[in-house]
Amino acid sequence: MEIKKEYKNDELIMSPIGRLDTITSDDLNNAIIEEKDNLNSLILNFQGVDYISSAGLRVLISNMKSLKNEDKSLTIINVNDTILEIFKMSGFDKILKIE
């Protein structure tokens, strides 16, 4: 999985590309942890994500909680219909901030 990063002041836009599954979810988790101290707001651009598994969902929830505890925000943008359906089926659309 490739993860592009772009800072705009204290806001980080992170754009993972590919599948977010058991094999790649640690890559995203580690990338977020690595940058967490440098940001106040994290935007995950899912334009290049074509699949998410339960492992990927766990990474999103755990990082959302961790960031929230530090008064930081996590927003997910550009979610395709397939992933949005997974978010809805799992109830994550009510927990995560998705734009």
**DSSP structural state of residue 78:** S
Q: pTM of the predicted model, to two decimals? A: 0.94
Q: Strand, helix or coil at 1?
A: coil
- Per-residue pLDDT tens for 28-85? 999 999 999 999 999 999 999 999 999 999 999 999 999 999 999 999 999 999 999 9
37-49 pLDDT, tens digit each = 999 999 999 999 9
Terminal Cα-to-Cα distance of the chain (whole angstroms)? 23
Which residues touch 72 (CB under 8 Å, ≥6 apart)?
Answer: 36, 39, 40, 41, 42
